[in-house]
Amino acid sequence: MKRTATALLLAALITPAVYAEDKLFWTLAVGTQVATIYDLQSTRSVFRRCPSCYEANPIMRPFAPSPPAAFGAALSLSGVSVYGSYQLKKRGIRWWWVPLAAPIAAHTAAGLSNRRIR
């Protein structure tokens, strides 16, 4: 484990610097994943606090009982939006950032809504 962490750290330090125009892309890509994890964690905490609560999202409903399945499905869908955004950016589409900003807003709003459930 320690060797793996060291290798990953060295790889991150040795890789070429990110171009200035890619900083926004990578910031939004990381933000998408972080917002997704925040939503998933807040959903899990609602299930612990409220046994009668259920997942209202029809896409995530089958995965909700199993945390590994929920995380796998949600992060995979977020990964698809990152890939789609990258393809739009590569083609020079002006609105390439929308597939990244929309999930950030949606997952953050869902996570905040989950926090209000007692």
How many residues does this entry show for the chain? Answer: 118
What integer is the mean pLDDT of 86-103? 95
Whole-number pLDDT of residue 118 = 80
In terms of C-beta density within 10 A (0-12 exposed, 13-18 middle, 19 or more buried), how is residue 98 classed?
middle
Q: Model's pTM, two decimal places?
A: 0.78
- Per-residue pLDDT tens for 50-63? 889 888 889 899 99
Smallest CA-to-CA distance from 100 within 16, 34, 3, 42 is with 34
Report the sign of the C-alpha dihedral through residues 111, 114, 116, 118, in that order.
negative
Q: pLDDT for 5-31, tens place per residue?
A: 666 555 555 655 555 568 999 999 999
